[in-house]
Amino acid sequence: MEPRAFYVAGRPAHGEGELTVTHPYDGRAVGRTTLATADQVEAAVAAAAEVSAAAAALPAHARAAALDHVSRRLAERADEVAALITAENGKPVKWAKAEVGRAVSTFRWAAEEARRFSGELQRLDTDPAATGRIALVRRVPKGPVLGIAPFNFPLNLVAHKVAPAIAVGAPIVVKPAPATPLSALLLGEILAETDLPEGMFSVLPLPNERAADLVTDPRLPVVSFTGSGPVGAAIRRAAPDKHVTLELGGNAAAVICEDWASDGDLTFAAHRIATFSNYQAGQSCIAVQRVYVHEWLYDGFLPRLVAAVEELRTGDPTSELTDVGPLVSVEAAERVEAWVDEAVAAGATIEVGGRRNGATYPPTVLSGVPSTAKVCTEEVFGPVLVVAPVTDDRAGFAAVNDSAYGLQAGVFTHNLQTAFLAHRTLEVGGVIVGDVPSYRADQMPYGGVKGSGVGREGLRSAMDDYTEPRVMVLTGV
């Protein structure tokens, strides 16, 4: 198996040592790459700094053409890319295909945003002393971006950083997760087909300690990090003077409100929650981890939920029929097992699931969980759902807020007043009404409060983040 190239200033390269990528389902080697050397890292960062001014001056048509090319090529190679995602991450191929589809649309949408990203014109003559003045506000890239990505969406979470950088004309250095670098390298291969100037992008496989050096490099003034809370906090401490965006973990919750009461409502919610607490084997920052059900609906909802979870097929992620694959590693599955055992020892009941097999943990529903158990308070990042009755909708919202995290929440209601109450009350970055919290679209600002992060992604938000306003005041106009 030939090692896959990584990319230094837009060119394919091989470095030192070896990084073997294994399939989480059966442990077999599925790909190899090498680690970037110190000289290669220096070359990537120096080239990014060097091309920065030229990148900022790239015309919109050139930025958009590159982004459209990436979108088109990902679509053409979709089956191959999805198979690679499944191989390195272990997610079922149907979810890997969904991930590729999202990346195709992220780059296409970024091309459109690149065409319309124009700044603002503001009138200043609201003040008599400023009669005849207007302000032209352009957004200028802050400089090269460092993008650090986690393992759970090996293509998309890289795309969410690369696409807005190209859209505004900012060079980007990407560091993929060590367990899942291959999809990012394939993206590098496609980026290398474009006419983007040399130095505009690099994709560097690196061990964590060496990524930490990039975080403090002053030539990379913007850091966009997606990953776990402790690493995010360390990055913020290490780079207090930089613009740092942190997309961190969560323990997302849904509330089944008092009015979500028909048989059809409950069956719909049960299926959506069963699917989205277990998609990506629960390894999504917005997978449903907690569900709070109005007490008068609880007895009708729980059996439907259990039945919907039992319908999910767990197993080989390369099968089109599989809904739930392995976690990223045996250690990750062992941690989930330990947390479930801890909850059970504290009085919880396993309604369904609960027996680990290697890296695979079955979809599991727990009831009667003390609110202090780790499966409630921490991010499980596994296919485990805690279900609990609440006395009313407000109590459900309070339970959602009783968390160190605040990424997104799902509120099952038809009632507009309840929806607005949820939107006012919930301490999260986004409220999804009528569905699970597990929804993200490129148009919307995406991110969290409390331990879930700092700043927002979403194309437009990231484009604003990667740039700063520069005002020109015109006089006598």
Residue 175 makes contact with ligand NAD by CB under 6 A: yes
CB 183 to ligand NAD: min, Å: 13
Phi, psi of 430 (to 5 degrees): -160, 140
Annotated catalytic residue 285: yes
From the candidates 88, 99, 113, 247, which is the catalytic residue? 247
Shortest distance (Å) from residue 149 CB to ligand NAD: 6
Q: What angle do CA 444, 446, 448 make, to 5 degrees?
A: 145
Residues 218-257 that bind ligand NAD (CB under 6 A): 226-228, 231, 234-235, 247-250
> What is the C-alpha to C-alpha distance for residues 72 and 82, in angstroms, rounded to an integer?
15
CB of 1 to ligand NAD, least distance (A): 22
Q: How many beta carbons lie within 10 A of that of residue 435, not counting itself?
A: 16
152: contact with ligand NAD by CB under 6 A: yes
Q: Is residue 389 near ligand NAD by the rule CB under 6 A?
A: no
Comparing CA positions, the residue from 176, 172, 147 lying closest to residue 84 is 176
Exactly one of 211, 333, 411, 426 binds ligand NAD (CB under 6 A); that residue is: 211
Distance CA 162, CA 110 (A): 10
> What is the C-alpha to C-alpha distance for residues 44 and 50, in angstroms, rounded to an integer?
10
| Cβ within 8 Å of residue 346, ≥6 positions away | 369, 370, 372, 373
Binding flag, residue 202, ligand NAD (CB under 6 A): no
Return the DSSP state at 457: B
The reply on whether position 82 binds ligand NAD by CB under 6 A is no
Which parts of 148-238 fold into alpha helices (H)?
Answer: 156-168, 182-191, 208-216, 229-238
Contact flag: residue 409 with ligand NAD (CB under 6 A):
no
Q: Is 430 in the site for ligand NAD (CB under 6 A)?
A: no
Please tell me the count of residues contacting ligand NAD according to CB under 6 A: 28
If the CB atoms of residues 19 and 157 are measured against ligand NAD, the closer one turns out to be 157
Question: What single DSSP character describes residue 129?
Answer: G
Contacts of 242 (CB under 8 A, 6+ apart): 215, 220, 221, 222, 223
149 is a site residue for ligand NAD (CB under 6 A): yes
78 or 449: whose CB is closer to ligand NAD? 449
| Cα distance between residue 469 and residue 463, in whole Å | 11
Binding string to ligand NAD for residues 154 to 173, with x set by CB under 6 A, is what? ---x----------------
- Report the nearest approach of ligand NAD to the CB of residue 203 (Å): 12
Q: Within its chain, how far is the Cα of 312 from the centroid?
A: 24
Q: Does 215 bind ligand NAD (CB under 6 A)?
A: yes
| 150 lies in the binding site for ligand NAD (CB under 6 A) | yes
**Is 376 an annotated catalytic residue?**
no
List 113, 285, 351, 379, catalytic entry: 285
Give the C-alpha distances (Å, rounded to integers) separating 254 from 39, 144, 195: 49, 38, 45
Measured from the CB atom, the residue of 268 and 439 that comes closer to ligand NAD is 439
How many whole angstroms separate alpha carbon 2 and alpha carbon 94?
27
Q: Which of 90, 389, 396, 453 binds ligand NAD (CB under 6 A)?
A: 453
Tell me whether residue 85 or residue 248 sits nearer to ligand NAD (CB atom): 248
Residues forming contacts to ligand NAD in the complex (CB under 6 A) are 148-152, 157, 175, 177-178, 208, 211-212, 215, 226-228, 231, 234-235, 247-250, 285, 379, 381, 407, 453
Q: Which residues are catalytic, by number? A: 247, 285
